[in-house]
Chain A
Amino acid sequence: MTLQADTTTPGADERLVQVGVVRGIFRRVEIGALIGAVAVWLLFAAVAPGNWLSVTGVARILDPASTLGIMAIAVALLMIGGEFDLSTGVMTGSAGLVAGLLSTRMGWNLWPAMGAALIFALAVGYLNGMMVTRTGLPSFIVTLATFFALRGANVGVTRLVTEQVYVGGIDKTEGFELARLVFNTGIDVFGIEFRSSIIWWVVIAVIASWVLLRTKYGSWIFATGGDANAARNVGVPATRVKITLFMTTAAAAWLVGMMNIVRLRSAVASQGIGQEFIYIIAATIGGCLLTGGYGSVIGASIGAIIFGMAQVGIVFAGWDTDWFYSFLGVMLLAAVLVNKYTRQRAQEISLAAAKARTEG
């Protein structure tokens, strides 16, 4: 008996190492996004090497990627938790308008105005979460309704108050300079201007990834999206998790809304419309499953970088920018296919290992 055990053990250990390395690579949630990012980078490096490989090029890419990345991270968390939010894009506009109107028309200091906008955003996020968890309706429908309601209100209220479709003069309000410094300023690095929103993005990515992978709340998010009933059976407060995630996406939209208004010095009623799909695309390229329970914050950030590269690269290459969205569509499909393939590979390897274990 003991002899037999001794002879089989070393062989088994070798197999473990072999399987471990291959599976380790394939099992990275972000692998699809990473392959995509490298492919897009190489493409533009070949087509427009001069601009692409400069520091200016990097700064230009990271500019749109940063605000998109912040949203993609929050949306990825929500998708892992098993829900959608289509009101995120228009919410960036709503938050900006609330802060803009209160500060320019009511004479508020910009900071309490931004505070009120945050409360408004959190309330809408809470409402989304309550409606989804109470009614059991698909979040796709519930937040689609929120999207249209906010879209209408953005234009309606703005026109009612200002008789225009934008709120200007935010730079003349009290507290603007500090707000600009905090939310969106240019930082000089080697004579090139990088946006401070990049710092926000990196910090948020690190915190969100830590919460997702290194705290119990992360496990709860995965479990809620994976099987909410099973999660409830072992004591995970799945409803609270979902509502918190809706409030998180709303808070992220508020942050991006503030970044937009201090940069543009005005709030536009049509701000953010259509962006919600870009956020979902970035999260999906980053490895999130539409069915929930699977995904990555880092992947979503890489998805945002791909978006930034495509947006800037098309200009650098001198291509017609009309084709940008077509490019994004092809990119989405390719990334999802790669994700599907790698996930299947990882599972096949796991299954093969399990089989080897029971038979060996």
Chain B
Amino acid sequence: MAQTQPQLEVRNISKMFGSVIALSNVSAAFYAGEVTCLLGDNGAGKSTLIKILSGVYQPTEGDYIFEGRKVLLNSPREALAMGIATVYQDLSLIPLMSVWRNFFLGSEPEKRWGPFKSYDIALARRVVRDELKKMGIVVRDTDQPVGTMSGGERQSIAISRAIYFGAKVLILDEPTAALGVKQAGMVLHYIVQAKRRGLAVIFITHNPNHAWPVGDHFIILRRGRVLGDYRKDEITQADLMNLMAGGEDLLKLQEELAMLQEQPLEMATEV
């Protein structure tokens, strides 16, 4: 661990929706130049935690600390302005629009044209090509509509856009969930690229096989609580998988399945 101060930290965060406790006393620290994997099954509280980190929700209790200072975020735009970028599953990309228009959407470069301002398209095309190249993505044609690209390519455009617009923290919400093996591998590659460029990457997933190769630090959530918080040298891949599935539960499931296989077929169907 190179630096002592986390880029982003939450301390004793709780979030209540009416009487439902979505998060309870969660603490986590995210460091620059590291990939922190946030793991958990469905309903573990991952989405609630990301939404707090990205400014969509405000915590009911607890502190939100960015670069050592306590902050109160009221909207995702405020988070973005501080350098906390979130890439959601739906990506915020417009399928019918070209790569460069998508990349700069909402932050278009302009040049003066008499009393008017026009879109600096040449600059946009060049920057997109260069930025994608830095991530190791070769786009032959930046005029290509984003909708014609693969899921992995779209994720990588969204990631490089966040990096280009000065993100210090990159939150990735299940970026590999809907992808095939090859495509998921491509996205993992870009996650490492983002880390090497000094970003604090928060990688949300429920797949330990995707988390293990890229993660420096693993936080496992379960039923709104932190079940475990390990650095990579403190845990093995097998332990991680066990924790993910809930350890004892998995053991029980294995026994049940083994029994089921030994039973005659008629009995099995009755069960």
Pairwise interchain contact A236-B97, C-beta atoms closer than 8 A: no
CB closest chain-B residue, reference A347: B148
CB closest chain-B residue, reference A234: B106
Pairwise interchain contact B92-A350, C-beta atoms closer than 8 A: no
Q: Which of B140-182 contact A (CB under 8 A)?
A: 140-141, 143-145, 147-150, 153
CB closest chain-A residue, reference B148: A350
Q: Which of B60-104 contact A (CB under 8 A)?
A: 76-77, 88, 90-97, 101, 104
Pairwise interchain contact A16-B119, C-beta atoms closer than 8 A: no
Pairwise interchain contact B77-A222, C-beta atoms closer than 8 A: no
Residue in B95, B105, B116, B148 whose CB lies within 8 Å of A219: B105
Q: Is A258 an interface residue (CB 8 A)?
A: no
Pairwise interchain contact A226-B95, C-beta atoms closer than 8 A: yes
A117 CA to B209 CA, complexed, in Å: 67
Residue from A27, A227, A351, A353 whose CB has the most chain B CB atoms within 10 Å: A227
Tell me which residues across on chain A come within 8 A of B94, comparing CB atoms.
Answer: 222-223, 226-227, 230-231, 293
Q: Which of A138-146, A147-155, A210-218 contacts B (4 or more CB under 8 A)?
A: A210-218
A215 CA to B113 CA, complexed, in Å: 11
A16 CA to B142 CA, complexed, in Å: 12
Residue in A16, A219, A235, A293 whose CB lies within 8 Å of B140: A16
A227 CA to B146 CA, complexed, in Å: 13
Pairwise interchain contact A354-B150, C-beta atoms closer than 8 A: yes
CB closest chain-B residue, reference A13: B140
Given the known interface contacts A214-B118, A354-B149, the answer about A235 and B77 at a Cβ–Cβ threshold of 8 Å is yes
Q: Is A294 an interface residue (CB 8 A)?
A: yes
A20 CA to B142 CA, complexed, in Å: 12
A19 CA to B98 CA, complexed, in Å: 17
Interchain nearest-CB distance for B167 vs A (Å): 13
A12 CA to B138 CA, complexed, in Å: 12
A287 CA to B149 CA, complexed, in Å: 22
Pairwise interchain contact B119-A218, C-beta atoms closer than 8 A: yes
Pairwise interchain contact A236-B105, C-beta atoms closer than 8 A: yes
Map CB proximity to B onto A215-255 as digits: 1 under 8 Å, 0 otherwise: 11011101100110011011110000000000000000000
Given the known interface contacts A215-B118, A235-B107, A350-B148, the answer about A294 and B96 at a Cβ–Cβ threshold of 8 Å is yes
Tell me which residues across on chain A come within 8 A of B138, comparing CB atoms.
Answer: 357
Q: How many A-B residue pairs have CB under 8 A?
A: 86
Q: Is A358 an interface residue (CB 8 A)?
A: yes
Pairwise interchain contact B101-A354, C-beta atoms closer than 8 A: no
Pairwise interchain contact B91-A230, C-beta atoms closer than 8 A: yes
Q: Is B108 an interface residue (CB 8 A)?
A: yes
Q: Is B252 an interface residue (CB 8 A)?
A: no
Residue in B96, B121, B153 whose CB lies within 8 Å of A222: B96
CB closest chain-B residue, reference A80: B96
Chain B residue total in the interface (Cβ 8 A): 34
A235 CA to B105 CA, complexed, in Å: 8
Tell me which residues across on chain A come within 8 A of B116, comparing CB atoms.
Answer: 215
Residue in A216, A293, A354, A358 whose CB lies within 8 Å of B108: A216
Tell me which residues across on chain B come within 8 A of A226, comparing CB atoms.
Answer: 94-97
Pairwise interchain contact B141-A234, C-beta atoms closer than 8 A: no
Pairwise interchain contact B145-A350, C-beta atoms closer than 8 A: yes
Pairwise interchain contact B119-A215, C-beta atoms closer than 8 A: yes
Q: Is B112 an interface residue (CB 8 A)?
A: no
A358 CA to B140 CA, complexed, in Å: 11
Interchain nearest-CB distance for A293 vs B (Å): 5
Residue in A12, A19, A358 whose CB lies within 8 Å of B150: A358
Pairwise interchain contact B95-A223, C-beta atoms closer than 8 A: no
A231 CA to B150 CA, complexed, in Å: 20
Interchain nearest-CB distance for A56 vs B (Å): 38
Tell me which residues across on chain A come within 8 A of B150, comparing CB atoms.
Answer: 354, 358
Tell me which residues across on chain A come within 8 A of B145, comparing CB atoms.
Answer: 347, 350
Tell me which residues across on chain A come within 8 A of B106, comparing CB atoms.
Answer: 231, 234-236
Pairwise interchain contact A216-B110, C-beta atoms closer than 8 A: yes
CB closest chain-B residue, reference A24: B143
Tell me which residues across on chain A come within 8 A of B97, comparing CB atoms.
Answer: 219, 222-223, 226, 293
Interchain nearest-CB distance for B175 vs A (Å): 16
Tell me which residues across on chain B come within 8 A of A12, comparing CB atoms.
Answer: 140
A177 CA to B101 CA, complexed, in Å: 46
Given the known interface contacts A218-B119, A357-B140, the answer about A230 and B93 at a Cβ–Cβ threshold of 8 Å is yes
Residue from A20, A27, A350 whose CB has the most chain B CB atoms within 10 Å: A350
Interchain nearest-CB distance for B183 vs A (Å): 9
Tell me which residues across on chain A come within 8 A of B77, comparing CB atoms.
Answer: 235
CB closest chain-A residue, reference B80: A235
Residue from A12, A220, A223, A294 whose CB has the most chain B CB atoms within 10 Å: A223
Tell me which residues across on chain B come within 8 A of A358, comparing CB atoms.
Answer: 150
CB closest chain-B residue, reference A289: B96
Q: Which of A184-210 contact B (CB under 8 A)?
A: 210
Interchain nearest-CB distance for B84 vs A (Å): 14
Given the known interface contacts A214-B121, A216-B119, A350-B148, the answer about A230 and B90 at a Cβ–Cβ threshold of 8 Å is yes
Tell me which residues across on chain A come within 8 A of B144, comparing CB atoms.
Answer: 350, 353-354
A140 CA to B92 CA, complexed, in Å: 26
Between-chain CB contacts (< 8 Å), 19 pairs: A16-B140, A19-B140, A214-B119, A214-B121, A216-B108, A216-B117, A219-B101, A219-B105, A219-B108, A226-B97, A227-B95, A235-B106, A293-B97, A347-B145, A350-B144, A354-B149, A354-B150, A354-B153, A358-B150
Q: Which 9 A-B pairs have the closest CB atoms?
A: A216-B108, A235-B106, A234-B106, A226-B94, A350-B148, A233-B92, A230-B92, A293-B96, A214-B118
Q: Knowing that A215-B110, A357-B140 are A-B contacts, what are 7 other residue pairs whose CB atoms are under 8 Å apart, sorted by A's residue number?
A: A16-B141, A23-B141, A223-B101, A226-B95, A231-B105, A231-B106, A353-B141
